Each structure stands twice: as C-alpha cells, then as structure tokens.
Amino acid sequence: DAGVTQSPTHLIKTRGQQVTLRCSPISGHKSVSWYQQVLGQGPQFIFQYYEKEERGRGNFPDRFSARQFPNYSSELNVNALLLGDSALYLCASSLDRASGNTIYFGEGSWLTVV
Amino acid sequence: AQKITQTQPGMFVQEKEAVTLDCTYDTSDQSYGLFWYKQPSSGEMIFLIYQGSYDEQNATEGRYSLNFQKARKSANLVISASQLGDSAMYFCAMREWDGGSYIPTFGRGTSLIVHP
C-alpha cells in the first residue's frame, strides 16, 4: 500500500508569491495534518483536517490556509510568501482525529523562498 | 515554557553499543501520549515508539525502548545495539487532546551519529 504522498518534493518561490502543496493520505485514513519544519527545529503543527473540516489550527498567520477534499487528500496554501516561510512542509495522515499514536508522515515538500 | 525539551543537540555512539536520547516534557494533563520519531536526511518522519500516560510498562519496539518516568516527566529513548543506519535526527513529541483532536508538539531534536 502507498504511504502518505506529497507533491512537489522541492520548489523555489519568490517573496510575495503564493504556493500550493498537495498531500494524499494513506488509503482509508480520513485525517490529514500539516506541519512546518524550519531548519534546525522540530516540526510545528499548522492544521488538522478531518472529514473535510478544520479540527485544529496552530499558531500561524492567516496567510496559511488549507482544505481537504472528498477523497481526503489535502492542499496547503501559503500566500504572500516571506523568506521565513522557507522550510520543509510535512503532511501526516491518521485513521481519524483521535488516532493520536498512529500518525504517518510523508517525505515532505522542501520550499525555498528567495 | 518548552513543552518538550531535548537537551542533547548531538550524540555519538559506536556501532553495536546502546545509546540513550533524553526527553523531558511539561503538561498538566493526566492523559497524554509520548512519541519518538526518526528523521533521516530524506526528511520523512518515521514513527518509532509510543507511550501512553496510563501505560504502566515501558514501551518496547524491537531495538527501541522508551524509559518512561512519569514523576520526573521524562521519556528517554534507548536504542540497543546501534547500527550505522540509525544515524539520523531523533524527535521526541507529546500529544495532548485540545478538545477537538490530538495535537502533537515536537522537541528540537537530537542528531545521532553511529560510527563503526
């Protein structure tokens, strides 16, 4: 079975631009969450979606938004990119929002803002 | 205050020896969970082991064991018989229920290098 897949794997954007990152969860998983990992730090929680609704949000500005589709895949959008948005963006999936000990991560999308 | 503290930025261990990676946590919840993840240079976070706050026995998964000391709020990872492939970043994380879902908080990580 395929694990969590993310695209694109690497991308370079210019300050002020917008970016969309995509995530496909493990088949059967209904919850998707997003994390930002800046170089030298641990992942920071951005969003969790379950059954197409936002169930949790971390301390990130409104420039960050996300959505989940009927097939449970998800997109993370970041507007008005700043240099500080350069990071590894990780997507994770789980069966449901209460499966706190069975979270599976993708390989991430490396975003560089120049 | 940091919820998860990993005080060892880097650790070195010789192949086949055991190594302990430290993690302390801070929470006022009675129900919480503790994880360890491995992150190789590729970036993927690989789940290693989980310990629930009500679990009385320390969790074990193959060569990985979690030394859970609830009163001290510590959850150290022990890797026995280190292998070269164990070289990676290791993150300790805690999940707490926020009323709607489980939200994990990660530490800053420990870089482990296994040398022959």
Q: B31: part of which helix (H) or strand (E)?
A: none
Which pLDDT score, from 0 to 100, does residue B1 have?
Answer: 62
CB atoms within 10 A of CB B62: 10
Lowest-confidence region among A1-5, A58-62, A70-74? A1-5
For the stretch B71-103, pLDDT in tens is 999 999 999 999 999 999 999 999 887 777 778
Contacts of A112 in chain B (CB under 8 A): none
Give me the mean pLDDT over the B104-116 stretch.
Answer: 95
Mean pLDDT to the nearest integer, A71-76: 96
- Amino acid A1: pLDDT: 60
Q: Are A97 and A55 in contact (CB under 8 A)?
A: yes
Residue-wise pLDDT for A2-57, tens only, equals 799 999 999 999 999 999 999 999 999 999 999 999 998 999 999 999 889 998 89
Q: How far is CA A51 from the centre of its chain?
A: 16
pLDDT at B7: 96
What pLDDT, on a 0 to 100 scale, did the predictor assign at position A37? 97
- Amino acid A35: pLDDT: 96
Which residues of chain B does A45 touch, with a Cβ-Cβ cutoff of 8 Å?
Answer: 103-105
Number of neighbouring beta carbons within 10 Å of residue B98 = 13
Give the pLDDT confidence score for residue A97 in this predicted structure: 60
pLDDT at A98 over 90: no
Q: Is B116 on the interface with A (CB under 8 A)?
A: no
Give pLDDT, residue B36. 96
B20-79 pLDDT, tens digit per residue, is 999 999 999 888 999 999 999 888 899 999 999 999 899 999 999 999 999 999 999 999
Which of B33, B44, B103 faces A105 most closely, judged by CB atoms? B44
C-alpha distance from residue A20 to each of A3, A8, B16, B44 (Å): 20, 9, 44, 19
pLDDT above 70 coverage of chain A, percent: 94
* Model pLDDT, residue B27: 92
In this model, does residue A100 exceed pLDDT 60? Answer: no
- For residue B35, list chain A residues with Cβ-Cβ distance below 8 A: 101, 103
- Spatial separation of the C-alpha atoms in residues B32 and B8, rounded to whole Å: 23
**Confidence class of residue A101 from pLDDT cuts 50, 70 and 90?**
low
Place of tokens 């560089």: A112
If DSSP codes are grouped into helix, strand and coil, which group holds residue B23? coil
Secondary structure of A75-107 in HEC code, one letter for each residue? EEEECCCCHHHCEEEEEEEECCCCCCCCCEECC
Residue A61: the pLDDT is 97
